Structure 1
């Protein structure tokens, strides 16, 4: 059975430029939807957080305002997350050899902890060294920033996407953020790409690296990974 490691933020806040803490966590859609896609495909899913702490969903992700004006999606995400009853293991103790791929949901939480975790960076490098898929959506690619290779950043020169400066501006955090994901990827030498329309689904694959731009990209990104695993393991 294909085994998926969900590397989820353990932070319930994001420290803004002025030092204040913005309550957040992981983005509900970006955990619930890929989790459902993977389990429906017959994959075994293991959730892990730094220290094994209980992950906190960003309540904004359940709101109608952040789900196209409808209350239904947020309620559906909440119901699903309540049903799966997440009991995380310690991300700091995981090894890539035990899993077939790693998936990092976004939300602003990863900007606080995963982005600066040497352990997470080393884990991402392990998956890459083994040729296994590394996937992240929205702010999830922040977890890639601490991954080092022989020539510096592990993903220097690679194509990837994530939450854009435009989208961060539209949610009101660009001017308050200590740094922006799109900028940081570019500074490190990544080839950041974005779709033509903000908030529309957009995914990028470059070798073993799979990334999605925003919450709407969660499902197509997960489906691309299921298809990729099916090709590499036809028995599934």
Structure 2
């Protein structure tokens, strides 16, 4: 059995360009599908957030239209309720990645607000990457990679092939024109080799110990690839 650390946002909103707080959090499917895969394979999952704050779920991710119908939406909500770690998360700043066998970041727009600028998260990501820990990041979760800065100012993920929520998907979601910045642009600007797939279709990129997924549909395929790296 391995121990996997899941790092979630503690932000319940994303501040748009005009200062409007857009309600958000983590995207339910992006936690539920990997959590099921990890625990189903016999692994233990700890959950951590900045300050140990209770991670807010994006309510839109629990809507029937986001889950292919009411039955599936109720199933996802029930799955979240069964994850005890969501009610008492660990404090991210106290985490030692050496205590874990893999690290996973789900998305939702929340990471765009807090993890993108969280130095503790950034330091954890640098250590995980450089130590060779399997590292899985999906959808807007790669916003956290922007804080993974080395002492010389370079981004630890510069030169890595990766993906994340694309500009096209943000535009289709109706928020691109209202955002302060777009994830694809910022990752490219940090030196990452961003690989864009078709909007909303599963798309996973593996480069060394880094596994990234583009969107919610990529959550389960990403978990499968992360489990392969765990062996």
> Does TM, normalized by the shorter one, top 0.5?
yes
2:186 and 2:124 mapped to 1: Cα distance? 20
2:4 and 2:200 mapped to 1: Cα distance? 26
Q: Is the Cα contact below 8 Å between 1:62 and 1:73 reproduced in 2? A: no
Match of 1:175 in 2: 177
State the Cα distance separating 1:227 from its structure 2 match. Answer: 1.6
Q: Is the Cα contact below 8 Å between 2:135 and 2:226 reproduced in 1? A: no
Q: How many residues align?
A: 228
State the Cα distance separating 1:157 from its structure 2 match. Answer: 1.1
Q: Residues 11-30 of structure 1, C-alpha deviation per residue, up to 9 Å, x if partnerless?
A: 11100100010111000000
SS state at 2:6 partner: strand
Q: Answer yes or no: is 1:71 the counterpart of 2:70.
A: yes
Match of 2:13 in 1: 13
1:115 and 1:175 mapped to 2: Cα distance? 20
SS state at 1:10 partner: coil
Pairing of 1:131-210 with structure 2 (within 5 A): 131-149=132-150, 150=152, 152-195=154-197, 197-210=198-211
SS state at 2:67 partner: coil
Match of 1:103 in 2: 104
**Comparing 136-145 and 59-68, the one that deviates more:** 59-68
Q: Residues 63-117 of structure 1, C-alpha deviation per residue, up to 9 Å, x if partnerless?
A: 122234x222221110001112322110111011010111000000000000001
Tell me the TM-score normalized by structure 1.
Answer: 0.94
Tell me the TM-score normalized by structure 2.
Answer: 0.96
1:83 and 1:157 mapped to 2: Cα distance? 39
Match of 1:233 in 2: none
1:21 and 1:151 mapped to 2: Cα distance? 30
Q: Answer yes or no: is 1:211 the counterpart of 2:200.
A: no
Q: Which runs of 5+ in 2 are unaligned?
A: none
1:166 and 1:146 mapped to 2: Cα distance? 23
- Structure 1 ranges of 4+ moved more than 6 A: none
